[in-house]
């Protein structure tokens, strides 16, 4: 099947986005590690700051849990739990406080009915469905020379790109909420806000990379099978 071979579209579309994704992930790690060594002047842990921001937004029902891993932090809307990783939960660093505030930003998004996060939550089931069936359908369509099945597979694959497209503004908004709160509530001071911003900006690049990678893969599929369909 052409998709699994190295073609000109692979070099033009996939390789550059893979390199960008690798750079973005490296940037996150290096930036977080740098500012994880800078302790905030407030002296509170990320978990304590997380609780403080939740309470200030009236989200007393949202719990905080400690989970294992490195930067595995996330907000679970199904259980109303902010989960903070080993490297964040008990840390007093500027980097960890920035990450914790970002996750609270997601909790606030749900609380205020922020539309993009509601849209993202709504399309997750169909996105999961599409991710499982897209490539098998494309393979079957190619093997049996049935273009409608190939087209259906590409449409299902495009749902993953849609998910990444919706995810990007959700993450950027959560970071903006976090930084506004950290500065406005005097949780971080002076250059500490800029340092936390550097961490969250680096993290945002990974979502940009995910969108570009997904879009490049989708475009490659369209070009491969569009070209083949035109020949037929």
Active site members: 103
CA distance 18 to 154: 20
**Closest by CA position to 46, among listed 8, 76, 7, 83:** 83
CA distance 91 to 102: 15
CA distance 94 to 33: 11
CA distance 160 to 171: 16
Rounded (10°) angle between helices 94-112 and 147-184: 110
Q: Which residues is 84 bridged to in the sheet?
A: 66
3-state secondary structure of 142: helix
How many CA atoms lie within 13 Å of 22's alpha carbon, on the beta-carbon side?
6
Query: Token pair for residue 50?
Result: 């997380």
Burial profile 193-225: b = 16 or more Cβ within 10 angstroms, e = fewer: bebbbbbbbbbbbebbbbbbbbbbbbbbbeebb
């Amino acid at each position: 099947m052409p998709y699994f071979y190295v073609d000109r579209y692979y070099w033009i579309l996939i390789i550059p986005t893979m390199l960008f994704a690798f750079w973005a992930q490296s940037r996150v790690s290096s930036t977080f590690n740098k500012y994880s060594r800078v302790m905030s002047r407030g002296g509170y842990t990320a978990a304590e700051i997380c609780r403080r921001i939740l309470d200030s937004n009236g989200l007393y029902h949202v719990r905080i849990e400690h989970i294992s891993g490195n930067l595995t932090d996330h907000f679970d809307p199904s259980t109303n739990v902010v989960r903070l990783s080993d490297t964040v939960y008990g840390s007093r660093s500027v980097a960890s406080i920035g990450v914790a505030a970002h996750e609270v930003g997601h909790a606030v998004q749900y609380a205020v009915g922020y539309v993009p996060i509601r849209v993202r939550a709504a399309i997750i089931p169909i996105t999961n469905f599409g991710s499982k069936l897209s490539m098998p359908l494309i393979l079957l369509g190619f093997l049996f020379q049935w273009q409608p099945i190939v087209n259906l597979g590409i449409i299902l694959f495009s749902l993953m790109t849609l998910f990444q497209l919706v995810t990007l503004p959700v993450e950027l908004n959560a970071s903006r909420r976090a930084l506004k709160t950290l500065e406005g509530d005097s949780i971080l001071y002076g250059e500490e806000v800029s340092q936390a911003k550097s961490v969250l900006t680096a993290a945002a690049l990974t979502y940009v990379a995910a969108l570009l990678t997904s879009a490049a893969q989708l475009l490659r599929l369209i070009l491969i099978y569009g070209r083949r369909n035109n020949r037929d």
